[in-house]
Amino acid sequence: MEVMYEQDYRHIQAIVDRLHHESNGKAVLLIDKNGQEIAASGEIENLDTTSLSSLMAGNVAATGGIAKLLQESEFSGQFHEGQRTNVHISIVAQRLILVVLFDERSSLGLVRLRVRKASKELKNTLDAMMAKAVQPSEPSIFSEITDEDIDNLFND
Amino acid sequence: MYYGPGLCGKTTNLQYIYQKTNPEAKGKMISLATETERTLFFDFLPLSLGQIRGFKTRFHLYTVPGQVFYDASRKLILKGVDGVVFVADSQIERMEANIESLDNLADNLEEQGYNLEKIPYVMQYNKRDLPNAAPVAQLHELLNPQKIPQYEAVAITGQGVFDTLKAVAKLVLTELRRGGR
């Protein structure tokens, strides 16, 4: 349960958009390790990004579990090769999952190169967000929610 | 997160919710299961419940694989959990399996830095329709010393399924308001 503000979100979305463009990929997804979609760009109208996010997170968690058993700290990247669509999965700043879907219009080399650049930018943005979060801030935006509001959600 | 021993009805809970929810409120249900329909990794169901003060609420329901030897997978799925439903199998002969699974839940939560006493958590006694179901009082004594909210259910017909879901969803939202975690 973390809060992201509009300005940070826009910044992150811009990085994801740029990665989509520069990598020549079909789509880019940024997901947190719990499987929640944070940002998406590209040809996503026909993609079930909710399910994809959950499965990608499950996949990364399973791979992380394997790494631990092999005394590796983490496998930082994965690549799945399909007949039409390839998937490049990498971990950003130990907490986010960056996924690039691409086809023959791009290549693994190009995707890797652009992902590396975008990862650095995302990490910097996250670090700045964390630094902000450490400072005492205004009360939680959720604190105004009443019991009644919660009950109303279930009146169906 | 639905937790509990093998064959207690975690996946059945999700399947019932999936069947009874408006198409616009739910996403696809995903089951990573073996050929014999035993959960291998997890089931996943995204669910929208409407708005609170302009905030859309969306819940992600997961089950863990119940079988003892899938413990490594269970640990992974517990990462980032916001609330837990423990689905107990009411049958007398499954009591040991219930207790083992509950102990396993407590251990695995602790390993991830959570605590059963603090996390939003409700209990469901499933399979109440079976002739060999233990009395609720006995289940309560064995499995629910903390006296958390408990619900009787027959997941396969849907009895108690939504009551359980609403209870845990409310606790999660209340925790969010409190600024927990």
Is the per-residue pLDDT at B181 higher than 60? no
The three-state DSSP-derived secondary structure of A30-60 is: EEECCCCEEEEEECCCCCCHHHHHHHHHHHH
* Chain B residues interacting with chain A (CB cutoff of 8 angstroms): 27-28, 30, 32, 41-42, 44, 46, 49-50, 52-53, 55, 57, 60, 72-73, 75-77, 79-80, 82, 166, 169-170, 173-174, 176-177, 179-181
- Top-confidence range, A142-151, B37-46, B127-136: B127-136
Is the per-residue pLDDT at B25 higher than 80? yes
* Token output for A56: 């990608």
Query: Sheet harboring B2-3: ordered strands across?
Result: B30-33, B39-52, B55-63, B2-3, B84-89, B121-126, B150-152
- Asked if residue B85 lies in contact with residue B170, where contact means CB atoms within 8 angstroms, the answer is no
Are B27 and A50 in contact (CB < 8 Å)? Answer: yes
Nearest chain A residue to B180 by CA distance is A1
pTM, rounded to two decimals: 0.88
- Map residue B52 onto helix, strand or coil: strand
Q: What is the pLDDT tens value at each position of chain A, 156 positions in all?
A: 467 888 999 999 999 999 999 999 999 999 999 899 999 999 999 999 999 999 999 999 999 889 989 999 888 889 999 999 999 999 999 889 999 999 999 999 999 999 999 999 999 999 998 888 766 556 666 777 888 888 888 765
**Which class for B116: exposed (0-12), middle (13-18), buried (19 or more C-beta within 10 A)?**
middle
- B68/chain A closest Cα distance in angstroms: 17
Nearest chain A residue to B21 by CA distance is A156
> Is A49 an interface residue toward B (CB < 8 Å)?
no
Are A145 and B52 in contact (CB < 8 Å)? Answer: yes
Q: List chain A residues with CB under 8 Å of B79.
A: 33-34, 61
Closest CA to B82 of B44, B118, B45: B118
Are B46 and A64 in contact (CB < 8 Å)? Answer: no
Are B79 and A149 in contact (CB < 8 Å)? Answer: no
The Cβ-side half-sphere exposure at A76, using a 13 Å CA radius, reads 7
B60 against A76, higher pLDDT: B60
Helix (H) or strand (E) holding B32: strand B30-33
> Is A149 an interface residue toward B (CB < 8 Å)?
yes
**Facing B72 at nearest CB: one of A51, A65, A142:** A65
Are A51 and B181 in contact (CB < 8 Å)? Answer: no
Q: List chain B residues with CB under 8 Å of A64.
A: 76
Q: How many CB pairs under 8 A join A and B?
A: 81
